[in-house]
Structure 1
Amino acid sequence: MLSTSNDRQDTTPAPAATWAVGDITVHRIDEMLLPPETGPWLLPDATPDLVRGQQWLHPDFADHDGRPLLDSHTFAFTVAGLNVLVDTGIGNGKTRANPAWHDLDTDYLDRLAAAGYPPAAVDLVILTHLHTDHVGWNTRTDGNGAWIPTFPGARHLVSRTEREFWAGQDMDEPRRQMFRDSVHPVEEAGLLDLVDLPAEGTEIAPGLRLLPTPGHTPGHLAVQLSSNGETALVTGDCIHHPVQFAHPAIGSCVDIDPDRSRATRHDLLRSLAGSGGLVLGTHFPPPTAGRVIVDGDAYRLTPVPGTPGTARPARPAR
């Protein structure tokens, strides 16, 4: 993402939040607020005038300058007896081209443990795609300069299309570094499983389904939960920000296939509108979640704030 310093005035994540989806409790595990410059860089077509034109985005999803606000967080839940983590954020101590992500020292693992998911208890890690801010906590340092799996007892799932795409790319050095420190150690430990996703998706456990949502990356996937007639969808990066509900044609500057990304977003929003299903945005700032309703010829997100947890102070940056 954007190469800039993290200079949002308050960089302390909001208190942890949870949502009930039938019998499943979904925990948002906060990592960090992303710098305010991230939104205009990531979504260049989301101009200040366009953002200000959607009053419902304010004040939670956009600032007074009309900039979309974004966060880095992950989601944890227990389903069918499995402790599951969806994506693993940016990670600590990683060498990154983006100064806002470089050599972080956050208390993410403490937050994860406080939610009831210490690393040793995680059974399954689902990676929506293999971008730097979604795989970072796959690994942590062993104290001697080596990167080891953070979740040694967990299977790590990614779509086969996604892994094979990157295996065939001539990657630049920052992306090669990311694979070296955050993907290869998991592969070398025999913990990475490749999943084939048909168009209708695949159920990997009762109440837990992976849906193909290509475009941002070729093998991008979303995660669907269902329990007692209720559903929720974790977006990953097929939708970065709620402004894309009102303007689904707005894409990310890092979408690999912009046309397919737009088509995926249109189809997904159409399927969610009026369904009552909860949408959990992987980069949506608090309140993070909501339900999709039709608004004119597009859509709007009706926020569903989570049940707040106890505020925890952010560890000071190094």
Structure 2
Amino acid sequence: EDEILVTVGAQHALSIIGTLFAEDPRPIAFENPGYQEARHMFHLYNNQIAPVPVDIGGFDPDRLPAEFKLAYITPGCQFPTMVVMPDDRRVRVIEKARAANALVIEDDYEIGLVGHVKLKPALKSLDEDGTVIYVGSLSKTLSPSIRMGFIVADRDIIKSAKTVRSLTVRHPPSIVQETTAMFLAHGYHDAHIKNLREIYSQRWHIMQEGIKKHLPMFSPGDATGGTSFWLTGPENFDAEVFAKRLQQRGVLIEPGHIFYNGGVTKNSFRIGFPSVAGNKINTGLHHISDEAKSYLETL
């Protein structure tokens, strides 16, 4: 229990970490593209960001800066590209952090929700000396509204994090913690996860085949799992403009520039499927296809 801290969601956990390390002048190595809300959170506490390019293996440890204090990564399912970090990189990122007297933040936001993918153990499971700070939440598996997250880290970090937490929210609501604990203890969460994995796996395969059929003008990347797809269009394709056009059809996508440090790359976008029934996925993809053909004719 000295190595776990309950937080009001994962964003709160990242806020605590950003506060703890704000006085260290070294930058935070950050996936590029990466989770923009985490990047904004770290900036809020005057942490400098050192973007590290993402490729088919996710975060590349060999491209880490010479000096950094933290490396923020999503190895289980890189956000937003959805690629999985291979084993050799998992080992190297810990070694690189250790050599730099730095730490790794592992944000396990998906916690393995797609059933057809063989899950890799968390990066934290390879950690022998407290180099990895693990951040998780129940937002995707239960509901974002319960605001239940957690940090798993070295006990000295948890002790400091607990102090920071007490200055902001004191502690997460006891009734939420107790209800969640009971839900977990009785095995309901495990059963719920199993059901979600089956549903999301079916939808993932429908999405994959639908993208091949309806959206051949976009590259689907190298993802093998996750609850969204990362698509890339021609170089002159502007996903922000495309998103506005799609919104008029009632279809929502996330333009890719928001995930990049500096927002310079504009031809990619993210499309999720958890809230879309399997029998409606192809209808949505058909709308995207029609709008894409119309928009591409104007370029």
State whether TM-score is above 0.5.
no
Q: Could you state the TM-score of these two structures normalised by the residue count of structure 1?
A: 0.30
Which structure features the higher share of strand residues?
Answer: 1
Q: Which has the larger radius of gyration?
A: 2
